[in-house]
């Protein structure tokens, strides 16, 4: 492992001082994420029996190519569900954006580009009709192929855009998620991780994931409600009203590598 990852390995003494090791790892994650992710490992996470910790951190901060005017941000209703409505700080702007009405996904797709010379980064919003299973249907059908088709179908047009200003942070116990993804017996005693060490039996006990995103007028740091457009219309509005006033899916997407860097679902300020 030293030969393969010599620049990314650090030796810590878990046996003598697991708390100092935990603080070292937390400090590294804080530094990489510009203090956005703190205390990813809570006290007691490591012990004298810990043999290895694999830590990964990523940070992205993007400014909109065309920023929202803070003076236009105002409180508006967000329809979290048919039974629940709340107020959010809703940002507004008019401009030209790539937009697609994708019938396969059952959603409007809007691309909000980030600024930068040669950048190909965008904030993608998938806004289904306001129905009980609208967002679930999008998630079931979304894959690399359907995502690319939706992007290829996009055309530039004038859009009246409304997007909530939001910030949230989530922590996930990752073992059940990874097991559902098919990692096999990675977290079981039967796992064979002999390639890590000739002298110690290595086993994985736990996995945690923590993510945070801020979306505001400047950019992002990496919905019987009244919906102001119908999913299908024989006579499209001009400009198109793309109002994110009910749950939506968002992606931070790198067009060059076709990679999703961050993803999330916004269901309202309390979800």
The residue among 59 and 263 whose pLDDT is bigger is 263
Burial group, residue 147, by CB count within 10 angstroms (0-12, 13-18, 19+): buried
pLDDT digits (tens, 9 = 90+) for 185-215: 777 778 777 777 776 777 777 787 888 888 8
Structure tokens belonging to residue 256: 């060059």
The model's confidence at residue 227, banded by pLDDT at 50, 70 and 90, is very low
pLDDT digits (tens, 9 = 90+) for 5-28: 767 778 888 889 989 988 998 898
Structure tokens belonging to residue 139: 């998630």
Domains (range + CATH), the chain: 18-61+168-214 (3.30.497.10), 70-166+237-266 (2.30.39.10)
Distance CA 158, CA 107 (A): 18
> Residue 229 has what pLDDT?
27
Q: What percent of the chain has pLDDT over 90?
A: 34
> Residue 149 has what pLDDT?
92
């Amino acid at each position: 492992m030293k030969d393969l990852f010599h620049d990314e390995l650090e030796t810590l003494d878990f046996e003598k001082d697991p708390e100092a090791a935990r603080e070292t790892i937390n400090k590294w994650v804080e530094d990489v994420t510009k203090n956005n992710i703190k205390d990813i490992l809570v006290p007691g996470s490591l012990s004298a029996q810990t043999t290895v910790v694999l830590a990964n951190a990523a940070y992205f901060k993007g400014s909109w190519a065309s920023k929202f005017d803070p003076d236009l941000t105002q409180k508006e209703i967000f329809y979290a569900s048919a039974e629940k409505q709340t107020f959010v700080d809703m940002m507004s702007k008019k401009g030209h954006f790539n937009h697609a009405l994708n019938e396969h996904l059952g959603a409007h797709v809007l691309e909000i580009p980030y600024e930068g010379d040669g950048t190909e980064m965008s904030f993608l919003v998938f806004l289904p009709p306001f129905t009980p299973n609208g967002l679930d249907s999008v998630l079931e059908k979304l894959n690399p192929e359907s995502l690319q088709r939706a992007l290829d179908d996009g055309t530039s047009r004038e859009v009246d855009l409304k997007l909530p200003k939001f910030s949230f942070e989530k922590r996930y116990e990752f073992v059940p998620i990874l097991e559902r993804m098919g990692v096999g017996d990675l977290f079981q005693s039967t796992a064979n991780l002999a390639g890590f060490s000739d002298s110690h039996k290595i086993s994985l006990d736990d996995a945690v994931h923590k993510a945070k995103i801020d979306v505001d007028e400047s950019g992002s740091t990496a919905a019987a409600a009244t919906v102001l457009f119908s999913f299908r219309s024989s006579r499209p509005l001009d400009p198109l009203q793309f109002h994110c006033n009910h749950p939506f899916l968002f992606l931070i997407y790198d067009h060059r590598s076709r990679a999703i860097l961050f993803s999330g679902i916004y269901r309202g300020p309390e979800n």
